[in-house]
Structure 1
Amino acid sequence: MPSDQWHLSHDLDEFHLRAGEFIRSRPVLHNTPLTTLEKWRTQPGAYAPGSVLFGRLEGDGGTEAVFYRPSSNRLTLTPLAPERADALAGRLLALGHTLAGVTADHGTAAAFAGAWARRAGAVPAVRVRMQLYRLGTLTPPDPRPQGRGRPVGREDHEHLMRWCREFAADVGEQVVIDAGTWAGTRFAEKRYTYWETPDGTPVSMAGANPMVAGMVRLDPVYTPARLRGRGYGAAVTAEVSRAALAAGATEVVLYTNAANPTSNALYRRLGYQQVADWAVYDFM
């Protein structure tokens, strides 16, 4: 397919106007663009005009794929056939663009990383392989650990930031999380729930992104290492999943680390079903 069917711009409003319906049409596979665009469009200060390169692939039937590249210089891409991934790599290089990496479903990410390596001479390296899950029928854990779920309040903010720092360190994210940077991190826009023991001690947490197009993505789910293996993570995940359904969500999704069989088995027991493999590549 000719590469000139890709339309590139730095205009968030135009991109949303022309590609928003396509993105909403597949809320599970497009969950990351959905939540990211919603954040940029609705949260003051989250988006700096002109800071993001947007792209949409137009065919006879309308938009067929999209990407965006924010200031991190990392490309987020919806599913593409290999020849289209190659054409996009050629188009971006011809225009003088550089990239630090790509995130997409496994097939698309691998195809684009290979094309970028051939064309740009970069060395692609897989940072992490993930699995995308969607909720089928919620099955609460049995037995359920003692305690209850409760919303995280303002009085918990320091504790919440500490747990987000610990989570980021666990998954290898290089991010500063403190009172001064919190609003600009990917953790700020979520609603959090703690699972706490009967004496009120928090032992696990789960975050939920705002609902968009009927979809809620859970992220992050974190239990401190010393408290794992007691069912707390399953309990808080089930609690947040139930709340999302009660709020009207038609799709509840989450990503897992493909290298962690324990967490993947936990989510399957709760009723989550794998939809796709995902990959994050760095370009060296």
Structure 2
Amino acid sequence: MPEKWDACLGGGCDHGLMIWSVTDDAGDFLAEAGDFLRTAAAENTVVLTVAADVRARGAGAFGGAETLFGWYRSIGGPVSGVFLHTQGNPLHLGVMPVEAIGPLADSPALAERKVSSVNTDERAAAAVVAAWRDRAGTSLRVQDRERLYRLGTLTPLERQPPGRARPATAADRDLLVVWHQAFNDEAGRGGDPSARVDDRLSYGGLYLWHVDDTPVCMVGHSRVVGGMARIGPVYSPAEHRRRGYAGALTVMASQATRDGGATTTVLFTDLANPTSNRLYQRLGYVPVADRVLLGLDPPTA
């Protein structure tokens, strides 16, 4: 049986008000929080896709690291906030009210885990910093900033690059693993991407752009879950960049998500990369929200 318990935090349970609940069972989590996740599918994209991946691939979907899911609600009322944490990765805060952040920082469930960073909507960053500071004198520093985009009207490039796009197949696996690893290295992410590649191939979620017989670009997308899919990774080796391949292949992958039932297609960009931000806006992607990665410093003495 999956471990599941309720965390009565911040005095809320004493007054019959609010409660955080946590579980390591993705099916239980989606049963409890699925309706809420779908009401803000773009903003909750990471929580939705991770939960769907764990449900589809099992608890070891991310290299054997356990994922903890949490949802926030008034007792007897609707869910109004969510989070997840996979060991070795940032604590990811989905949509939640500001008043839920302090109790989460005090959570016994999180105290048992190694949380080294927090990924949050930038609008909630000040509340996150204050909550972790008040919790144990822990300070946080900005490590990275991203922008979340949602697809509006898909707009192909005015000038197509040479070559052609095609779905990736099992015959491409070795190359796909190498390129996923290169993407992870550039993004500062760890872990063996082999299982992720196998999973993406299983549902047709990877595409390649070829010039003659040479693959020059890779684009992937998540499963469609809750009517939402997310584009990524987008990768070209350095010698094949700035030639239009990524833009053209992103258009194909974006259309594929819509053909597969997605009503919401999203992607993230690095705010420090103006080229990619301009490109995706030309393709029809519209800014939704900025997110910030906050690294935790050791508590002060």
State how far apart, in whole Å, the 1-side matches of 2:45 and 2:226 are: 9
1:72 to 76, 88, 92: 88
1:150 to 154, 166, 178: 166
Consecutive unaligned residues in structure 2, runs of 5 or more: 1-9
* Number of the residue aligned with 2:117: 101
* Number of the residue aligned with 1:202: 215
Residues 185-196 of structure 1: pairs in structure 2 closer than 5 A:
185=196, 187-190=197-200, 191-196=205-210
Q: Is the 8 A contact 2:222 2:230 kept in 1?
A: yes
**Gap change, CA 1:55 and 1:3, over 3 Å in 2:** farther
How many Å apart are 1:52 and its aligned residue?
Answer: 3.6
1:237 to 228, 235, 250: 250
How many Å apart are 1:214 and its aligned residue?
Answer: 1.3
Question: Does 2:175 align with 1:159?
Answer: yes
- Which AA in structure 2 matches 1:26? A
**Gap change, CA 1:283 and 1:188, over 3 Å in 2:** farther
Question: Does 2:156 align with 1:140?
Answer: yes
**Gap change, CA 1:248 and 1:83, over 3 Å in 2:** closer
* Number of the residue aligned with 2:232: 219
1:123 to 122, 139, 142: 139
Question: Does 2:30 align with 1:20?
Answer: no
How many Å apart are 1:38 and its aligned residue?
Answer: 0.7
How many Å apart are 1:82 and its aligned residue?
Answer: 3.5
**What is the Cα-based RMSD across aligned positions, in Å?**
2.4
**Gap change, CA 1:167 and 1:93, over 3 Å in 2:** closer
How many Å apart are 1:275 and its aligned residue?
Answer: 0.3
State how far apart, in whole Å, the 1-side matches of 2:282 and 2:247 are: 9
How many Å apart are 1:47 and its aligned residue?
Answer: 5.2
How many Å apart are 1:235 and its aligned residue?
Answer: 0.6
- Which AA in structure 1 matches 2:199? E
Consecutive unaligned residues in structure 1, runs of 5 or more: none
SS of 2:171's equivalent in the other structure is: helix
* Number of the residue aligned with 1:84: 100
1:43 to 57, 69, 89: 57
Aligned residues: 277
Answer with 217-226 or 49-58: which moved more.
49-58
1:224-262 alpha-carbon deviations (Å, 9 max, x no partner): 111111111101101111122222221111000011000
Q: Is the 8 A contact 2:80 2:97 kept in 1?
A: no
How many Å apart are 1:153 and its aligned residue?
Answer: 1.1
**Gap change, CA 1:176 and 1:125, over 3 Å in 2:** farther
State how far apart, in whole Å, the 1-side matches of 2:55 and 2:213 are: 37
SS of 1:55's equivalent in the other structure is: strand
SS of 1:113's equivalent in the other structure is: helix
State how far apart, in whole Å, the 1-side matches of 2:189 and 2:110 are: 31
How many Å apart are 1:39 and its aligned residue?
Answer: 0.9
How many Å apart are 1:87 and its aligned residue?
Answer: 3.0
Q: Is the 8 A contact 1:39 1:46 kept in 2?
A: no
Q: Indicate the percent of aligned positions where both proteins have the same amino acid.
A: 35
**Gap change, CA 1:114 and 1:140, over 3 Å in 2:** same
State how far apart, in whole Å, the 2-side matches of 1:132 and 1:212 are: 17
**Gap change, CA 1:94 and 1:39, over 3 Å in 2:** closer
